[in-house]
A and B are shown apart, each in its own frame.
Chain A
Amino acid sequence: MKAFVIDDDKLSVFLTQSILNLDAATQCVDTFLSAEAALDALAALKETDMPDVIFLDLNMPLMDGWDFLDALTSDRLYAEKEFNIYVLTSSLDLSDSVKAETYSIVSGFLHKPISSEDVSLIYSRIELQKKAEVR
């Protein structure tokens, strides 16, 4: 599994990355302290090098998580692309999870901190998905 972590909170990034690395299935974790950097990285990646899963924080300066999602949705380059984007936020505000549901490219909504159980659940979901695609 290749994962992207987008979060401006270095502590949170450290934590998420560490939990992910505990899972054996994790091959590589790329971390980004801003959404812009993550977008640039995606644009530079080849089709085959795309991350299997993206963990996205919402509250970030300048471009926040919503802006990132909007940019992905409106970019024709990713129109056909199926991302596994999980919003990972410290917010307990209900309005955030409701809003996240309106984005079709968002696969799930997680409250920080992420747990190993969350990770293995997400991974197994992605595995199933991949198998279905192969079939």
Chain B
Amino acid sequence: MFAFEKPSVLEKLINASLDIFGCVDSSGCFVFVSDAVSYVLGYKSEALHGKHFSSFLHPDDVARTNQFFNEVLSLSHEVNFSSRCIHSEGYTIHIFWSVIWIEDKDILYFVGRDVTDQKLGIQQLQEKDELHRALVEHGTDMLALFDENVNFTYSGGSTERILGYTAESLMGINAFSLIHPDDVEMVQEKLVQALESEEQVTISDFRFLHINGEWRRLETCLSNQLHNPAVKALVTSSRDVTEKYRNRQRLIESEQRFKSLFEYNPDAVFVENREGLILEANQAAEQLLGLPKHEILFKPIFGFLPPEAVAVCDRHLADAFNGNTVKFLLKSDFEDGKLVLEVTKIPVKVNGEVLAVHSIVKDITAATNYHEAVEQHAKKLTTIFESITDAFCTIGRDWKYTYVNSEFERLTNHKKEEFVGKSFFELYQDSSSEIFYKNYLYAMQTGCSVHFEAYSQEYGIWLSIRAFPSEEGLSIYFNDITERVEVQRELQQLSLVARHSTNGVIITNAARTVEWVNDSFTRLTGYTLEEALGKVPAELLQAQHKDQHPLEAVKDEMLRGVPISREVCSRRKDGKSVWFSVQVNPVFGEQGEIVKFVTILTDITERIKSQQELEMLSLVASGTDNAVIIMDVEGLTEWVNVGFTKMTGFTIAEMAGRKPAEVLRGEETEDITLRKLCEKLREGVHFNVMIAYYRKSGEKFWASVDTTPICDKNGNVTRFVAIQKDITFRKEAEENLLKMTQDLNRQNTDLQQFTYIVSHNLRAPVANAIGLANLLTKVGKDSALYDDSLAHLKQSVEQLDIVLKDMNTILSVRDGQGSLELEKIRVKLVVEQALNSLEESLKQCDGEVLFHIADDIEVKANKAYLYSIFYNLLSNAIKYRAIDRKLRVEVKCQASPDKGVLISFSDNGSGFDMAKAKDNVFKLYKRFHKNKNGRGIGLYLIKTHLEAMGGQIEVTSKTGVGTSFQIIIP
């Protein structure tokens, strides 16, 4: 308990005080606490007794307070401090403590005052100040104070950040020195206003110099606080509005741009809202509606529309508000009349929401009307074109089809679409379109219309074409005139035929008087058209010797309309008689009545004459010695005369219906002549052949046959007449002559060859002899050359002798040809003889000869010649034997009844090249082996001998294999 024993005044005071009175012992535990503690901290004073003070302290303050407590224990004077305690309800209470340690009592007295409110007040003030500063420093505004001369006394806020000036650098600077000269006046005015009114003045938008020299636009609030003792300055708050100004400026520009776009758009433009109220309208809209703007704005657009258009516009407006751009045509009756409007509605979207709709209204009434007028015009034209019965088309200046009518389609059998838009050149490329092109081009270039007729190959028709040029191109009319052209052509052709026909043509009327005759009529009768006109032909041509013209006799038949054909004799104008074949054809009218007669006259005088002539000739033919054959057109015999039977032995009965050549031909009748005969008969021309024929008896004779075709009026062959003469005698003479000529020729050739041979072979040894003789004079008698030359000279002369002997042999064979006596000789005998003569040589070369010859085979020959033949063949075989093998010769002989005796002579010798030797094998002095002493006379002699006996020889040879001779002796 406290020192007061009894509750006294003091005790009462203490307990009544708002401050807490108390004491703690040196350990810090409460000894006493006044009642105020319950008021201040919410604890009963009794509850605190004995508790340590720290248990009421704010945990953050415990350490500090403990330290303090320990310090106080060593001090004798009063100490003040504050700390936070925790109210029993948990909140913090700031307590200002005053403590004193009484050492002798070992007690610490304390007084605690609740200073919470005071503490909070200070804290709040501090916070407010801090907030201001932060606002000023970090706000966007620039704050400044000026004295009455507008010099800076303070600069703060974001001045430095925005304008670059530090606060210090602006001190004392006059504000006007930094304001744009153009703006100074305005700012001064505002300043005066501020000074006078003491109200806050806003100076919007003036230019102030940035530290980097750039002008910035500022907006400043100016407040005159000179008279405010707490301030004593002009207070300004400024903001940089440069960007804002620029944006605004841009906005203004773009607005103006759009405004003018809108305002001066030649089309009427309305801005409507969802309800259809007109929010804006341009000048064109005013014009369209015929009302000034103020009468249009904020009125429903439907009010200006005719009733029938409202629903359409309403529907499209709703569609536009759904975000679609719509375009439609509005045709309606307005006050000014019927208008056609093209309306485009464009939604104006802001953030995806359609706020309004722009309606662009274009008055296309005029254009539409024009278009319609053109269309109507075109339709009208089409109707006209279609109603044109001719085929019709138009071609533009670019040569493209612009129109074709249905008749044109029908004519060309192509659809309109296949032409329109296509070029003329694209469709027609054939050369027949050239004439079309030329005419069209002419029309286009000259502007003159053209009319021409042409044949279209493509459509196979004749066309009459009229083309009319215009600005646009050509209008072309086609008329199918094929029928007309064809009729015309046919007529032309017919008239050509009639006019130039070799036949006479007469056209008479029903009364049989002449209306027209052709030139041939005049030629045939001598009467001209003028002379014949109006006459009855039968009377005109009446033959003198007849009372009545034959045609008069058939007059009644004619008048019944029966075609008549007669051969009549008439009289020409010059009195000569002519035969006519007359054909009268009636021409009927539409009702079947006879309107005309067409009479054709053919001159058959010749034929009649030739008929008569033939009759006479046949009389002659039957009497002549020459054979006469009359054949039909096929070449079959119709008639032969007595002369034929005399010549050939065949009678008319045997010949009739057969071809003469088939009957008379025989073994030696040449096929080529027969062929020629047939050919000429087919050609129907006169010809002559010489032909080997055979009489019935089988005897051959030569006939010269002249065959002549007999033609009718029209030139057609009707018959052949052949005159046949026996020319056997003449032919034989001719053949003899031919043989003689051939012999002569051969002999002449032989002679030529002989001369050649003599010049070569006879002269060679002579030349050598001369040369050697000369040489001998030039060399010394003792030299070896002299001896050689002499030996050679002797050899040359010997050679000369051999050649001369050869000549003799040859000449004797040739000369003996004519008178050569042939006898029957047994072949085998002669072969054996030849073999014997050469036996020695054969033995030397160890050769063998095999011969298969029947003993009885005989030939008709000259024995010496036959011997020479075999001797030469055998000696050749030995001479030209192959070195590498034994010679083997084979001789065969065989008698053939028709050809004679065949002898084959083969060896296995060296042979020769047939290709190189060619036809020289049997020629005189031709040699085919080198280094052999052949003279080239052997085979020549063999051949000459054989030919002298009428025989033949052939040779086959192969180098290195052997040679084989085939001999035929008749």
Contacts and interface: CB of A to CB of B under 8 A. Distances in A.
Interface of A: 8-9, 11-12, 14-16, 18-19, 22, 33-34, 36, 58-59, 61-63, 89-93, 111-116
B926 A61 contact: yes
Contact of B927 (A61, A92, A114): A61
A60 B76 CA distance: 178
Interface residues of B, number: 36
Interface stretch (B88-96, B172-180, B755-763, B901-909): B755-763
B772 interface: yes
A38 to B, nearest CB: 12
Contacts of B649: none
B771 A19 contact: yes
Interface string B778-807: 110000010011001001100100000000
B775 A19 contact: yes
Interface stretch (B33-41, B429-437, B731-739, B928-936): B928-936
Contacts of B927: 61-62
A75 B314 CA distance: 111
Given A11-B796, A18-B775, A61-B927, A90 B767 contact: yes
Nearest to B767: A112
Contacts of B788: 14
A15 B759 contact: no
A92 B763 CA distance: 8
Contacts of A116: 778
B764 A12 contact: yes
B792 A11 contact: yes
Contacts of A112: 763-764, 767-768, 771
B930 A33 contact: yes
B254 interface: no
A8 B916 CA distance: 18
Given A12-B764, A14-B792, A113 B778 contact: no
Nearest to B765: A11
Given A91-B756, A93-B756, 15 more contacts: A12-B771, A15-B768, A15-B792, A16-B771, A18-B785, A19-B771, A33-B930, A59-B925, A90-B764, A90-B768, A91-B759, A93-B759, A111-B767, A113-B767, A113-B770
20 contacts: A9-B764, A11-B792, A11-B795, A11-B796, A22-B778, A59-B764, A61-B928, A62-B928, A90-B766, A91-B759, A91-B760, A91-B763, A93-B755, A93-B756, A112-B767, A113-B770, A113-B772, A113-B774, A114-B771, A115-B771
A90 B763 contact: yes
B775 A15 contact: yes
A122 to B, nearest CB: 16
B917 to A, nearest CB: 8
B916 A62 contact: yes
A92 B588 CA distance: 99
Contacts of B799: 11
Interface in B448-473: none
Contacts of B779: 18
A40 to B, nearest CB: 13
Contacts of B936: 61
A92 to B, nearest CB: 5
Nearest to B933: A10
Given A9-B768, A61-B928, A93-B759, A115 B774 contact: yes
Contacts of B760: 58-59, 89-91, 93
Contacts of B756: 91, 93
Nearest to B912: A62
B930 A92 contact: no
A135 B756 CA distance: 45
B763 A113 contact: no
Contacts of B789: 14-15, 18
A14 B770 CA distance: 13
Contacts of B764: 9, 12, 59, 90, 112
A22 B764 CA distance: 22
Contacts of B763: 90-92, 112
B916 to A, nearest CB: 6
A33 B929 CA distance: 12
Contacts of A63: 916
A18 B771 CA distance: 10
A11 B928 contact: no
Contacts of A93: 755-756, 759-760
A115 B934 CA distance: 28
A11 B778 contact: no
A115 B764 CA distance: 15
A101 B752 CA distance: 22
B664 to A, nearest CB: 51
Nearest to B763: A90
A16 B772 CA distance: 9
A36 B767 CA distance: 24
A33 B771 contact: no
B759 A113 contact: no
Contacts of A11: 765, 768, 772, 792, 795-796, 799
A113 B769 CA distance: 8
B565 to A, nearest CB: 79
A113 B916 contact: no
A92 B759 CA distance: 5
A59 B925 CA distance: 9
B708 to A, nearest CB: 53
Interface in B890-914: 913
B777 to A, nearest CB: 11
Contacts of A18: 775, 779, 785, 789
Nearest to A35: B930
Nearest to B925: A59
The 6 A-B pairs at the shortest CB distance, nearest first, are namely A113-B771, A61-B927, A112-B767, A90-B764, A90-B767, A15-B771
A116 B785 CA distance: 16
Contacts of A8: 930
A61 B929 contact: yes
Nearest to B795: A11
A18 B772 CA distance: 9
Please indicate which of the listed interface residues A22, A34, A91, A114 has the most CB atoms of chain B within 10 Å of its own CB. Answer: A91
A59 B762 CA distance: 12
A111 B768 CA distance: 11
A61 B767 CA distance: 19
A85 B89 CA distance: 160
A8 B761 CA distance: 13
B918 to A, nearest CB: 11
A129 B632 CA distance: 85
A33 B931 CA distance: 8
A116 B774 CA distance: 10
Contacts of B774: 113, 115
Contacts of A14: 788-789, 792
A93 B756 CA distance: 7
B29 to A, nearest CB: 151
Contacts of B768: 9, 11-12, 15, 90, 112-113
B923 to A, nearest CB: 12
